[in-house]
Amino acid sequence: MSTGSPPVHVVVVGAGITGLACAHRLLTLDPTIKVTLLEASDRIGGLIRTTPFAGLPAVDEAADAFLLRVPSARDLAHAVGLGDVLTSPAVAQASVWRGRLHPLPESLLLGVPTRLAPLGRSRLLSARGKIRAGLEPLVPRTSIDNDCLGAYMRKRLGNEVHEMLIDPLVGSIYAADTDNFSLRGMPQLSELATEGRSLIISARKRPKPAAHGTETPVFAAPIGGMQQLVDATLDAVTRLGATVLTNERVTSVERTATGVVVQTSSGSHHCDHVVLAGPARHTGEWLAATAPNAGRLLREWEHASVVMVTLAVPKRSLPRAAVGSGYLVPKPVQRFVTAVSFASQKWAHLDSDSTAVLRVSLGRDGMPLHHHSDDELQSFTLADLKMHLGVDLNPSAVRVTRWVESFPQYRPQHFDRVAHVEAHLAVELPTAHLAGASYRGIGIPACIQQANDVAMRIIDEISAR
């Protein structure tokens, strides 16, 4: 920016982790930029929320960990001063419920067996399912053109491996039905699918996982819960000079002769660039007038809703089988519950002598539950847990959190759709930028990575002027 000219103004819409991270990266790269963050609700953090529960100061109501493989979340945590409070799960072993709890076989890559011996020993699959999976190296090449994860995996590894391993593991990340989900939406799996004809042979060529007990942590979280990352990032962006406005609902984003005007429920904000970091469907509505083609495609995005029920139960009431970090419930045997996290076993700081904390996920794409009352959701949860664990749990505390339309669904050809939207936007509103869970990965690291990329692009565009 030349001396004397007004500062470049960037408005970021949506103060979830994406919007916050984008504001942080913009101001770190260029402290002279004016950044305004607009949030419709009365709180910051979007889908991240941590609150006290059952005498514990901080129990997450949604995300409770981020992956370390993509370093952006860990890097942000360090940049905002949380390096010393990051912790990792105390246990990694998870199970799958099929009549009883079965430990996940070793050597899986998102459910794809990288070695057949552990699969052979597991009692989760029938003999027929194991034989079918073992034949995968002989199956002729499978086209990936239709980009459907379920169809691809069923053809390669058979229905049982898909339904008992891949769908529960991938489905639980995206609240998805993987029979209607993009293969490319899971880059680790699509890379494997494009590397060679056989998934198992390609997976075998990967470096061997570390021996049991010597693994480096896969996940991390601030000890005060994921809200601590939000709060520390908010503090940092405020210190760096950002203006953060809550209860400021964006209604439209329009092009002007000199830039962009963002209309809100209480006024308007003129800016040079706008970062659209809210859910795609809402973004499509804001763009309806100015970017009709991009807006129309965005309004077609589908989102799944889930419910998180948190329970405090007497530790002694849990059966001996309830070991490890938790378990997944495969689609063919689901009623309401899709996954259970034994949160106080997973996180040492949530553990106590007498009480166990469970975080139970209900609902997914194709299983809407929001028409049920909290009392009904609680009784469905307890009935499902009784079926899974064989015991009546008498919770001393229950918390029901509804996450409506929280999981964008990456339908087959998702990334082509994102590319089309961005191509339209480049013509219709070139200084608008998309980032967040709806586009290039739903996990917190992927959201932060998108935020960083958009911030860098804006800086490049500013310097090229």
Least distance (Å) between residue 176 CB and ligand FAD? 12
CA atoms within 13 A on the CB side of 375: 0
- Could you tell me the CA-to-CA distances from 22 to 1, 72, 205, 236, 255 in Å, in that order? 19, 12, 37, 12, 22
- Could you tell me the CA-to-CA distances from 51 to 175, 225, 276, 401 in Å, in that order? 23, 9, 27, 11
61 or 163: whose CB is closer to ligand FAD? 61
Least distance (Å) between residue 464 CB and ligand FAD? 27
The CA distance from 1 to 20, in Å, is 23
Least distance (Å) between residue 327 CB and ligand FAD? 16
The CA distance from 176 to 110, in Å, is 14
Least distance (Å) between residue 35 CB and ligand FAD? 15
DSSP letter string over 113-161?
A: ES-HHHHHH-SSS-HHHHHHHHTGGGSPP---TT-BHHHHHHHHH-HHH
Q: HEC states along 1-49?
A: CCCCCCCCEEEEECCCHHHHHHHHHHHHHCCCCEEEEECCCCCCCCCCC
Least distance (Å) between residue 401 CB and ligand FAD? 8
Least distance (Å) between residue 439 CB and ligand FAD? 9
Give the β-pairing of 66-67 and 219-222: antiparallel
The CA distance from 135 to 158, in Å, is 9
16 or 111: whose CB is closer to ligand FAD? 16
- Could you tell me the CA-to-CA distances from 297 to 68, 96, 419 in Å, in that order? 32, 37, 11
Least distance (Å) between residue 403 CB and ligand FAD? 4
Start-end of H helices in 208-323: 227-239, 280-286, 292-299
Residue type (1 letter), 362 = L
Least distance (Å) between residue 221 CB and ligand FAD? 8
14 or 330: whose CB is closer to ligand FAD? 14
67 or 112: whose CB is closer to ligand FAD? 67
The full length of the chain comes to 465
64 or 179: whose CB is closer to ligand FAD? 64
Least distance (Å) between residue 360 CB and ligand FAD? 11
| Nearest of 245, 246, 138, 136 to residue 199 by alpha carbon | 136
324 or 436: whose CB is closer to ligand FAD? 436
Could you list the residues that contact ligand FAD (CB under 6 A)?
A: 13-19, 38-41, 46-48, 62-66, 249-250, 277-279, 282, 306, 308, 403, 406, 436-437, 442-444, 447
The CA distance from 197 to 361, in Å, is 36
13 or 203: whose CB is closer to ligand FAD? 13
15 or 271: whose CB is closer to ligand FAD? 15
306 or 322: whose CB is closer to ligand FAD? 306
3-state class of 167 per DSSP?
A: helix
- What angle (nearest 5°) sits at the alpha carbon of residue 95, between those of residues 388 and 190? 125
